[in-house]
Structure 1
Amino acid sequence: MRAIRDGLELDAEQREFVELAREFARREIRPRAREVDDADHESPLDLWSRAAKLGLTSFMLPAEHGGGGVSSLVTQVLVTEELCHGDIGIGNLLTSNGFFAGPVEALGTPEQRERWLAPLCTEDPPLTALAVTEPGVGSDAASLTTRAVRDGSGYVLTGQKTWISNAPYARWIVVFATVDPALGSRGVTAFVVERDTPGLRIGRALPKMGQRAIVSAEVFLDGVRVEADQRLGEEGQGFYGLMRTFDASRILIAAACTGLSRAALDAAVDYAKQREQFGKPIIQHQAVAFRLADMAARTDASHLLAMRAARLYDQGDPATEEASIAKLTASENAMWCTWAALQTHGGWGYSREFLLEKWMRDAKLEEIEEGTSDIQRLIISRSLAR
């Protein structure tokens, strides 16, 4: 395994979590990657349970609620990278409760944080979900059509969400809706919806190209009533909470992509050392050696950009542009590195005997979710124009 040197000196807590994630990825995650991919519509809940007992599903959650208390996004980047070096789909599943927790932490009252975060920090935590995307609304979250209408002491939610990760398993879902479409982003409001609430229906599992460890589905809200204490923050504050969550999640996606790129590079180097063509290992052929060098350079760039954005985020500095740069670069590098690894393996790379074709399918999602590559370019270009 090739280590990435970034000059960062890890403290004891960081080393503990990183080593724990690395060993779990090696021992538990990688051996299950093909099986989970073939299962298609089934999350590996046994792996979820084992990871939870080790604290790997809650290390990022507040210590006052029983979590690992790792608020540092730098540390979260390092742990995510190790888990996703084992398998990006499974790694993203194991850290998925962090996405639900983001808006709860950013907007919730102390009572709400205890109510919904403490259960996630037990040895038997539920899965949760975040519902933003709609059939006609992807990255433009200010244009949500799901409505939240005042009704006495609470609200009634009506609308449809799609591609919601963990929806078939989630006990709680943070639903983003608008109290007034005319207000745009200033109308977006977040609510925590219980799974068994009347009017909430989970649709069929959606067939996916890759990252099948996380099962996605549509969510239908037909007159779902929630009380005022299920609203996170004030009316119209949901967009702020969502954008803050996106800054962190895009940085963590960059970390996940770095783990995948590292896996592809490791596989390509190992194969190139063993495979002979024209009387010598193919790693000695210039074309292959240069491709491996490009993979190493792209993998390092992905890691370093994720770490830069994470440091800014941890300091409380604006990091939206840097998060977009990290996600854009790392996701496209992961796509390229998985292609390059498959190319290095030649015809064998096309076989399902190796994980390369799976990794290439997995990589594609990261160019799409949490804002496509084009959206990231738009965010960056707007920053440049200011």
Structure 2
Amino acid sequence: MTVQAWPLTDEQRQIVELCRDFAVREIRPRAREVDEADVVTPMDIFRKAAEVGITDFMLPVEYGGGGLTDVFTQCLVQEELCWGDPGIGNLVCSNGFFADPILVLGTEDQRKRWLTPLAGRDAPMTALATTEPEAGSDAASIVTTATRVDGGYLINGQKAWISNAGAAEFYVVFAKTDRTQRSRGVSAFVMRKDGLRFGEPMRKMGQRAIVCREIFFDDVFVPESDRLGDEGQGFRGLMGTFDISRVILGAAAVGAARAAYEFALEYARTRKQFGVPIIEHQAVAFRLADMATKIEAARLLVQHAARTIDAGHTATGLAAMAKLTASETAMFVTWAAVQTLGGWGYSREFPVEQWMRDVKLEEIEEGTSDIMRLVISRNLA
């Protein structure tokens, strides 16, 4: 664990230690098994995380959560859990992504009804449904519709690549209430699993602990009381959620990169070639130096973005920088770890090949690296 640039409170140190211990005891021993199972959500790990407060630490106290609502603390947690395994780490904290748009757009009654059940050991799993077959990073182009009827809306359309779909009990869904508009036509709704149809689990390169499916909406009725905010406010809530989630995903990437670096460093210290440990070979030593430097730089940028959001400032461009830097750092570091281990790195004998597959998702989800560069360019001072 590196020295923190910002001092931690006692509460922050305690949750970091809790998550580090959970990663060692519960996540690392199961990571390979879960990866090879491919399309099975490890609910037992999620339940164990709920028992110790990891699934609800980010929820406000008034809804039964742990009250550690600041983005900086969420980044500390995400880094430790994803050091254990990126897929499982992201899974056990996924209720925070569901909660964000409700906190941004929801009424007090909606917050109580939908967030209070997430607290405690029996917390349901949740999902955020934005992506569609023809609408990924361009969320304003979604075509799922919400048509007004007496007392509410009928939702029709299709979502794709939805994390936890099928396993989740609660869903925040984004749909067009005005098809003549792009972003201003998007509204947000919260609903239960009942009435939704799900596709088969999607086969993925990595992060297999999080099962993704398509969701099909066929005249699914949602009462008006379950619309979040006014009509047309959904995109605003989604973008606010993205600023936070991109920074947190950046922390996840840093955690995975740290795991790969530590593994490669230990291997380089013990593996001998030409009669000496390979860490004494200049090419390997320089590669490890690059890995360590990039991880430190990525962590500082992620935590700076988190602190900026926590201070109440708009950080859209900075959040994109954090995600871009951290995800590409993780891709480089896991590649470098495989390279350092040589043939063993390419085999399933060691975990670095899995981490390399896992972190590729961080360059894609919630905005690809190309989209992040576009967001940054549009937010230059």
TM-score, normalized by the shorter chain, greater than 0.5: yes
8 A Cα contact 1:143 1:181, kept in partner: no
TM-superposed CA distance for 1:143, in Å, is: 1.2
Q: Secondary structure at the match of 2:213?
A: strand
Q: Which runs of 5+ in 2 are unaligned?
A: none
Matched, 1:142 2:140: yes
- Residues in 2 aligned to 1:229 and 1:283: alpha-carbon distance in whole angstroms: 62
8 A Cα contact 1:74 1:311, kept in partner: yes
Matched, 1:278 2:274: yes
For residue 283 of structure 2, what is the aligned residue in structure 1?
A: 287
Matched, 1:363 2:345: no
- Residues in 1 aligned to 2:355 and 2:297: alpha-carbon distance in whole angstroms: 19
8 A Cα contact 1:128 1:172, kept in partner: yes
TM-superposed CA distance for 1:7, in Å, is: 2.6
- Residues in 2 aligned to 1:144 and 1:95: alpha-carbon distance in whole angstroms: 26
TM-superposed CA distance for 1:5, in Å, is: 2.4
TM-score when normalising by structure 1: 0.98
Counterpart mapping for 1:135-214 below 5 A: 135-197=133-195, 200-214=196-210
Amino acid at match of 1:254: G
TM-superposed CA distance for 1:104, in Å, is: 0.7
Q: CA RMSD in A?
A: 0.8
Q: Deviations over 1:129-156 (max 9, x none)?
A: 0000000011111111010110011001
Q: Secondary structure at the match of 2:172?
A: strand
8 A Cα contact 1:168 1:205, kept in partner: no
- Residues in 2 aligned to 1:261 and 1:58: alpha-carbon distance in whole angstroms: 25
Amino acid at match of 1:27: R
- Residues in 2 aligned to 1:261 and 1:50: alpha-carbon distance in whole angstroms: 25
- Residues in 1 aligned to 2:70 and 2:298: alpha-carbon distance in whole angstroms: 19
For residue 214 of structure 2, what is the aligned residue in structure 1?
A: 218
For residue 48 of structure 1, what is the aligned residue in structure 2?
A: 46
Amino acid at match of 1:63: V
Amino acid at match of 2:23: A
8 A Cα contact 2:316 2:379, kept in partner: no
Counterpart mapping for 1:190-339 below 5 A: 190-197=188-195, 200-339=196-335
TM-superposed CA distance for 1:4, in Å, is: 2.1
TM-superposed CA distance for 1:8, in Å, is: 1.4
Quote the sequence identity (%): 60
TM-superposed CA distance for 1:6, in Å, is: 3.5
Matched, 1:97 2:95: yes
Q: Deviations over 1:39-59 (max 9, x none)?
A: 100011111111100000110
- Residues in 1 aligned to 2:303 and 2:85: alpha-carbon distance in whole angstroms: 20
- Residues in 2 aligned to 1:162 and 1:329: alpha-carbon distance in whole angstroms: 26
- Residues in 2 aligned to 1:26 and 1:122: alpha-carbon distance in whole angstroms: 22
Q: Which runs of 5+ in 1 are unaligned?
A: none
- Residues in 2 aligned to 1:345 and 1:184: alpha-carbon distance in whole angstroms: 48
Q: Secondary structure at the match of 2:59?
A: coil
TM-score when normalising by structure 2: 0.99
Moved over 6 A (4+): none
8 A Cα contact 1:144 1:181, kept in partner: no
